[in-house]
Amino acid sequence: MIRHRMRRGVAIALASLVAATLSACVGIPTSGSVIAGRAVSEQEPGGVEFVPEGPVSGADQETILRGFVAAFNGSGDYEVAREFLSGGFAGQWNPRESVLVRTGSVRYNQVDDATMDYTINTSAAVDANGTYTAFPSAPQTQRFHFVQEEGEWRISSAPNGIVLSSGTFATIFSEHILYFLDPSRQSLVPDLRWFPGGTAATRIVSALLAGPPPWLLGAVGTAFPDGTQLTSPKRVAVDSDVAIVDLTADALEANREQRQLMRVQLEASLGRLASISTVSISVDGTPLVIADLGADAPQSHPQVDGRMLVFKDGQFGYYANGRLAPISQISEQVAATSPTDAILGAGGAVAATLGKAGVYIVVAAEPDSAPPQAMLVDPRPGLIGPSLDPYGYVWSAQRSSPASIRVFTQQGVAQDVVANLPAGAQIVSLDVSRDGARVAVLLDTDAGPRMMVSAIARDATRNFAPLSLGEPRLDAIVEAETAVDATWLDEVTVAALTATGGESSVFGYRIGGQRTSLGSPQDAISIVGGNGENALRVVDADGVVGARRGNGWQSTQVKVSFIAGQR
């Protein structure tokens, strides 16, 4: 994206236009998170930078406040914004504490000769670590005090943080994914954050070093030793396409494997920045020699077979080009359960089905051994379709009971999972993420469909057995009458299928981001994810498969009993 600059020498009319425009859309927060930019020479490629004007001589209090708000679009340490503050307050104000995202108009109110109130409608907040939280738009009022210095009004008291209009926020900030480690250190677990383009690399590393966020505690870990930070000046330098991450001496406590995993976490977290292709780690200026883990490195969101996995005409297998390919040593046993839903584990070694008598598990036989038999593990009535996690546990629940989530080992040993879901809700679908650290649950409640995503706490001493679900990171009431189904769209997005008045709708929810509409497939009764948005599939009441095409849905003319999930 091209950098935009307004030079200080530009006519005052331009500054007035900017201030007037932003006064209709910007305010100042009491909470949220602030993000600062950098000098142009330090901007990462693709960053957007606005350089607003400072205060005009003789300006009244409202003009000063408008200019201060407009300067939130600035960079560095918000030097221009600080010009609107009194000498004693300029160094105390902390713009990095929060960002509030506002919608609609703003209101000014003169409280007394030296005080003004500023009222905005806020719809989201970003904290200092880049964590985004959306909420229903609500008014918020901030108070500002003024003093005169050398005959000019200046702000002597203001809330920390900044406020940006939704449009400006979308221009300056973008999504970035931090990666932590699952308990087995075989998978990378994502956490979505929001940072401004000019400082993204430094903020990503700083947030990664701060460790897992509260919602993922107990579900993930990190390879960085406690206390590890960036060295002064706490900035990630980029030389050509190499990010040079200089850490404090705490990093030396990491052993060989930890250092390899530190590199994996950094490269995965920084790898989406266009300006960075690799990472060099040093400690107090001394480079560390870290071998590549290669194929043993933990993976993020592994891909599944691109073919549909279906139950069609009494057979279970992959369907493509008009032909169904059964899966050796497992398809017959899956079909024998008379399934209405199923999920296949990685490599086709295990499957779980919702069959004629409940939830079954099928484990593929070893070569030259007897064929496997489907084992009924959960005979409870009213079960929903099962899920599988990467540790081999089968997840099962009764639709009518939010306290009924239970997991089963491949030997059929059961264990209840403490979920703390809302009382009175019905569980419509339950899907464990491919990394095994999170679970998406779609509920039907009195208030309407409710989409929730929580972390899974596990017992590392007992083969990572699931223990409980944490506080939800995503908890959204879907604007619809009926919850139908849900699926993982990608590593940070879940798709919810709902119905209102007989019309189906699909919404995508970014976990730590924003909601988007994914169109209205006709008469859909189930939805299954694959490798991204274009791999979404729905099945209608007649069994016809619909595929995501552009901004809508298109019939494939293929008819199935159901589409199975894949790990």
Every domain of the chain and the residues it spans: 12-172, 174-299, 308-566
Q: What is the pLDDT of residue 359?
A: 98
Q: Quick one: average pLDDT of 294-307?
A: 92
Q: What is the pLDDT of residue 49?
A: 57
For 243-270, what is each residue's pLDDT tens digit? Answer: 999 999 999 999 999 999 999 999 999 9
Closest CA to 478 of 513, 517, 439: 517
Q: Which residue has the tokens 């005959």?
A: 151
For 36-54, what is each residue's pLDDT tens digit? Answer: 333 333 334 344 556 689 9
For 461-476, what is each residue's pLDDT tens digit? Answer: 999 999 999 999 999 9
Q: What percent of the chain has pLDDT over 90?
A: 81
The domain defined by 12-172 carries CATH number 3.10.450: yes
C-alpha 31/C-alpha 159 separation (Å) is: 8
Task: Indicate the pLDDT class of residue 364, thresholds 50, 70 and 90.
Answer: confident
Residue 76 Ramachandran class (φ > 0 left, ψ -120 to 50 alpha, else beta): left
Are the C-beta atoms of residues 307 and 564 closer than 8 Å to each other?
A: no
Burial 309-340 (b: 16+ CB within 10 A, else e): bbbbeebbbbbeeeebeebebbbbbbbbbebe
Question: In this model, does residue 66 exceed pLDDT 70?
Answer: yes
Tell me: cis bond preceding 233? Omega within 30 of 0 counts: yes
Q: Quick one: average pLDDT of 128-148?
A: 94
Q: What is the pLDDT of residue 48?
A: 52
Question: In this model, does residue 344 exceed pLDDT 50?
Answer: yes
Return the bridge partners of 102, or none. 122, 165
Question: In this model, does residue 350 exceed pLDDT 70?
Answer: yes
C-alpha 421/C-alpha 405 separation (Å) is: 10
pTM of the model: 0.87
Please state which of the four CATH numbers 2.40.37.10, 3.40.462.40, 2.120.10.30, 1.10.510.10 is assigned to the domain occupying 308-566. 2.120.10.30
Question: In this model, does residue 21 exceed pLDDT 60?
Answer: no
C-alpha 208/C-alpha 229 separation (Å) is: 10
233-237, 400-404, 433-437: the lowest-pLDDT one: 233-237
Domains 12-172 and 308-566 agree in fold: no
**204, 209, 222, 428, 492 from 227: Cα distances, Å:** 16, 8, 12, 43, 28
Helix and strand totals (H; E) in the chain: 7, 38
